[in-house]
Amino acid sequence: VSLIGKTALITGASSGIGRATSILFSKLGANLTLCGRNKENLENTANECRSNNVKVNTVCGDLTNSPIIEGTMHQAIDFHKKLDILVNNAGIIALGTLETTSVEDFDLLMNINIRSVFQLTKLALPHLIDSRGNIVNVSSVTGIRSFPGGLSYGVSKAALDQFTRCTALDFAAKQVRVNAVNPGVVITELQKRGGLDEAGYAEFLEKSKTTHALGRPGNADEVSETIAFLASDAASFITGVTLPVDGGRHAMCPR
C-alpha cells in the first residue's frame, strides 16, 4: 500500500487510532493536515510524522465548534492546495441508558460523533470531487451490533454507518469513495475519557478476551492499517463498506 502523492486530513490525530493512522500515513508518503484538541499531543504526532519527510500542518480545536471546522478545511487547502483523503476519526464515547443519559449529554455526543462529520465532509466534498478522492469514517462495532448501557454512542455509530453508505451512493458517479471501519475494543484513552476508572478499564480489557473471537482487544495500529488500505488506490473498487476490525466480535452471539 502506498499513499505517495496523496494529501490527507485526519481528525482526532492527537491520540489513539487517529495518531496511529497519522504516523502510518506519513510512512506511506502522504502529506497531512492533522486536527486535534490537545495541542501538545497534536504537535507530538505531527513531529513524528515530519520525521518521515512529509509536509504536515496542524489545526488545534474542538470540532463541536462550526467556525473551527470551517477553519480546519480552509487551512488544509491553503497549506496543501488539494485534498485526496478525509479520515473522520474524532469521536467520544459515553456510557448510559435512556434513563441515565441527559438530553445535553446526548446532544454533545451527537455533535462530535455525527454533526462535525456532516459539516467537515460537506466542506471537503468539492475538493474530493476534484481529486477523485475518498473518505474513511471511523465507526465502531457498536454501529452494527447492539450492546446494553451505551445508548447514545451506539446510535451515533449506526448513524455514521448509514451516512457512509448513503454518501457512497450519492457520490459514486463522481468517483469519490466512502468507507468506514468498525473497530471492536481497541486499547486507547477513549473508554477512560468516557468515564471508566483504571480498575474498571482493566476489567473491561480482561473481559475483551472473551468478547472477541481472537481472544484479545485490538491495538490502534491494527485499525490504522485497515484505514490506510481503504484510503489507498489498492481499494479502488471498494465503496460503501463498513468493515469490522474487531477480532471477529461482530460475528459472535451469546450461547
Ligand X SMILES: *[C@@H]1O[C@H](CO)[C@@H](O)[C@H](O)[C@H]1NC(C)=O
Q: So which residues are the catalytic ones?
A: 153
Beta bridge partners of 180: 137, 242
Buried b (16+ CB within 10 A) or exposed e, 130-146: ebebbbbbbbbbbbbbe
DSSP secondary structure letters along 201-225? HHHHHHHHHHHSTTSS-B-HHHHHH
* Smallest separation (angstroms) from ligand X to the CB of 104: 21
133: closest CA among 166, 160, 167? 167
Where does this chain bind ligand X (CB under 6 A)? Answer: 5-7, 31, 55, 80, 88, 114, 117-118, 121, 135, 137, 160, 163-164, 167, 178
Least CB distance to ligand X at residue 134 (A): 9
Q: How far is the CB of 132 from ligand X (least distance, A)?
A: 14
What cell numbers appear for 192 in the block? 477512560
Cβ proximity to ligand X, 19 vs 157, nearer residue: 157
Nearer to ligand X by Cβ, of 31 and 211: the residue is 31
Is the CB of 2 or the CB of 97 nearer to ligand X? Answer: 2
Question: CB of 9 within 8 A of CB of 89?
Answer: no
Burial class of residue 16 in the structure, from the number of CB atoms within 10 Å of its CB (0-12 exposed, 13-18 middle, 19+ buried): buried
Q: Which of 164, 34, 8 is nearest to 86 (CA)?
A: 8
CB of residue 80 to ligand X, shortest distance in Å: 6
Nearer to ligand X, 109 or 217 (CB): 109
Residue closest to ligand X (Cβ): 163
